[in-house]
Amino acid sequence: MAADPSAAMRVLHVCIGQARPLIIGRRSFLSAIGKTAVEGPVALGPLGLEGDEQADPSVHGGLDKAVYAYPQEHYPFWQAQRGGLLDDPLPPGALGENLLVQGLLENALWIGDELHLPDAVLRITAPREPCFKFNARMGLKDAGQRMMDALNPGFYLSVVRPGRIQAGDPVELRPGPRGLRVDEAFAARRLKHLRD
């Protein structure tokens, strides 16, 4: 999906979740991929949103992956991919995102760009890398591959200036070094995955 330059950049929902067992086949894995939208302002610290957890800090969380943002514009794609699995629309947080955003697409964002919100500043650090837990969450055995094919991973953020974030916050995009776009970084990882 191409970026719409007229779309207002803003936070639509702030989502948090706690680590819980996720049953895949006959095995149980700890996961915090199930996020739920919350009302009102949420405190943002160097390691993410207050009340949010990550089950596997080797791939999620930490200073460089404190917050995960996902564009709302991709939700119709995932609804269509799921086909007849569920008739209900995907709720905010369904893809494990902390911030469901509007007007911030991977093909128009660069690693190092900053998102300035009214009370906080975040920096784009990397695209998401989907795993088997994402497949289980979406109910599709190849959801991660579909994300790779569509180049719609969303992106991780580090916290430049802690503060508070809430639904409806406008976002001002301030360019970083502009060396590599988010979709380009994800495409490079996809190519590596295909070679391995």
Q: Which residue has the higher pLDDT, 17 or 193?
A: 17
Domains in the chain (CATH in brackets) are 10-195 (2.40.33.20)
Rounded Cα gap, residues 184 and 181, in angstroms: 5
pLDDT, residue 93, reads 96
Most confident of 50-59, 134-143, 146-155, 186-195: 146-155
pTM score, two decimals? 0.92
Rounded Cα gap, residues 103 and 141, in angstroms: 29
Q: How many helices (H) and strands (E) does the chain have?
A: 4, 13
Q: Which residue has the higher pLDDT, 188 or 41?
A: 41
Instruction: Name the pLDDT band for 4 (thresholds 50, 70, 90).
Output: low
Strand extents, DSSP E, the chain: 10-16, 20-24, 27-31, 36-38, 42-45, 48-49, 67-71, 99-102, 114-116, 121-127, 155-161, 163-165, 172-174
pLDDT digits (tens, 9 = 90+) for 45-83: 999 999 999 887 777 789 999 999 999 999 999 999 987
Kindly report the average pLDDT of the chain as a whole number.
Answer: 90
Question: Is 193's pLDDT higher than 80?
Answer: no
Do 72 and 79 contact (CB within 8 A), yes or no?
no
Instruction: Name the pLDDT band for 169 (thresholds 50, 70, 90).
Output: very high
Instruction: Name the pLDDT band for 114 (thresholds 50, 70, 90).
Output: very high
Q: Which residue has the higher pLDDT, 42 or 58?
A: 42
Question: Is 142's pLDDT higher than 80?
Answer: yes
Contacts of 35 (CB under 8 A, 6+ apart): 15, 16, 17, 52, 92, 93, 94, 96, 97, 98
pLDDT, residue 57, reads 77
What sign has the CA pseudo-torsion 59, 65, 69, 70? Answer: negative
**Which residue in this structure is represented by tokens 């200073």?**
63
Helix, strand, coil shares, percent, the chain, to 5: 20, 30, 45
- Closest by CA position to 56, among listed 121, 147, 115, 133: 133
Instruction: Name the pLDDT band for 28 (thresholds 50, 70, 90).
Output: confident
Question: Is 99's pLDDT higher than 60?
Answer: yes
Question: Is 170's pLDDT higher than 60?
Answer: yes
pLDDT, residue 5, reads 52
